[in-house]
Structure 1
């Protein structure tokens, strides 16, 4: 009897130990499917960058490309300096020949790349005038509508401005222009294109754009002796300078490049480079950049 009780106690003890162990669950892997370990990483946001800019760099003049007989990249400052340098010649030619000063300057800007184009640099040709029949002066070869065309070469830019006036007044196809009002620069711009001065269909639009952006019609009013009232459109302001103080000097009788270079502590070569001069020829009233 005692043995039976002892055996019963032993069985109960074994059963109670098995009940306290946690159940183990196994899962058979699915054939062909491997569970990838999970890896965690921290992403760093890249700082935004602005190509070609620097927050510490001051704003500069906006560059634009002028396409005429050559492709030239210039800034508003370059165009403004060109206007200051040649506005007096343009006003004088308007009084003498009847061509609006605004048109003269706009054509000069466009045709010469504001004095930085190849023809302006190498031949002082600011209006892209080709040799044509009867030209006996100097010339240069330059690729334009055709390869190695003949273009007129001048001793200085002032000669180019004068020849431009003679070119328009001396050819019958431009005669209709001189019946237009002198202050109507839009009609002149359109008339030049119709008369065949340029083949670019946007030629009038480009001239008008320069006239209105830089208020070139003010020089028409000066030549006509009229009071100029600036329009309300957004324009680019041009800083004015005195003859002897500032950025430009007006050539006086007896001046030479050497004497001017000494006055402003410049090298002659630097003075020539600043003004796109190919030789030492100067004309009275010509404005030279001396800064």
Structure 2
């Protein structure tokens, strides 16, 4: 009887020990795993840089971040370079127009009609169309089945219209001349259209895609010769105007309004000369 009682006691003790060990080990593993996951997420969230918002205004008003614009460039750079090879339009100009006219792919026409260049119907258009307010109410704009069709039609539009013929006499890497030429030929009514295109090309280094097609060496904008100097008589920063500079490009570089630049420097118009010293601070 005593032996049976002893054996029963030992058996109950072993069962009790086994039952308490298992949950403790499982709980610790789960807690360790959850702690590691939370720390990793916290680290990723704090390390991710913030994107800056900007407003793109063309055929519609679109708020985008610089990440959205960069992703747009990555998505369509190959199409732009292909069109440069085929049609002779600088890839930088194609991408800059795409960014501006489509709101980096987020504008109304881009979303509803895959129209990334704001091209209106005109008399020779036989395809689908949509109505959209622009210079006038409910104007007719071209509609495409795919974005690629919009890029191709943009190239055909420029090469097929006589008023743009002078553009194709310009150097393929002279994006500033192309930007100004587009405005002069009537592509857009906005007087600041060239400055907007130039700003996108320089901020996002779109000229590198022209260089890839042309087989030339590209120097990033931030590494090109620009100088900010301090005048000995004062502490205000001055900028020496370089070839190709505009008030708009300088204003974006130093985060100051064009009107403020003109006021600081007593400028009555937007004309600049190489070597001119401008107050920028």
Instruction: Identify the TM-score tier after normalising by the shorter chain.
Output: 0.5 to 0.7
Instruction: Count the aligned residue pairs.
Output: 179
Partners of 1:205 and 1:231 lie apart in 2 by: 16
Query: Which one of the candidate residues 113, 122, 125 is aligned to 1:132?
Result: 122
CA deviation vs aligned residue, 1:217-243 (integer Å, no higher than 9, x gap): 000011112232323359xxxxxxxxx
Deviation of 1:60 after TM superposition, in Å, equals: 1.4
Q: CA deviation at 1:59?
A: 4.6
**How big is the alpha-carbon RMSD for the aligned residues of Structure 1 and Structure 2?**
1.4
Aligned to 2:93: 103
Q: Where do residues 18-97 of structure 1 align in structure 2 (5 Å cutoff)? A: 59-97=49-87
Q: 3-state DSSP class of the match of 2:157? A: helix
Map of 1:204 onto structure 2: 194
**Corresponding residue SS for 1:232:** helix
The corresponding residue for 1:167 is: 157
Local SS of the residue matching 2:155: helix
1:214 positional shift: 0.4
User: Are 1:231 and 2:217 matched, yes or no?
Assistant: no
Report what 1:112 is aligned to.
Answer: 102
Question: C-alpha distance in 2, partners of 1:169/1:89?
Answer: 17
Distance 2:78 2:91 in 1: 9
Cα distance, 1:165–1:134 mapped onto 2, change above 3 Å: same
Q: 1:218: which partner in 2? A: 208
Consecutive unaligned residues in structure 2, runs of 5 or more: 1-45, 225-281
- SS state at 1:150 partner: strand
Match of 1:181 in 2: 171
Name the structure, 1 or 2, with higher relative contact order (CA <8 Å, separation 6+). Answer: 1
Structure-2 separation of matches of 1:227 and 1:208: 19
| TM-score (norm: length of structure 1) | 0.60
State the partner residue of 1:145.
135
Aligned to 2:236: none
Distance 2:58 2:213 in 1: 28
Shift of residue 134, structure 1, vs aligned partner: 1.2
Distance 2:163 2:146 in 1: 27
Bigger-Rg structure (1/2):
1
Between the aligned partners of 1:59 and 1:229, the Cα distance in structure 2 is 26
Distance verdict in 2 for CA 1:206–1:233, change over 3 Å: farther
CA distance in 2, matches of 1:225, 1:59: 34
Q: Distance in 1 between matches of 2:182 and 2:77?
A: 20
Please state how far the C-alpha of 1:57 moved relative to its aligned partner.
9.6
Measured in 2, the distance between the counterparts of 1:57 and 1:179 equals 48
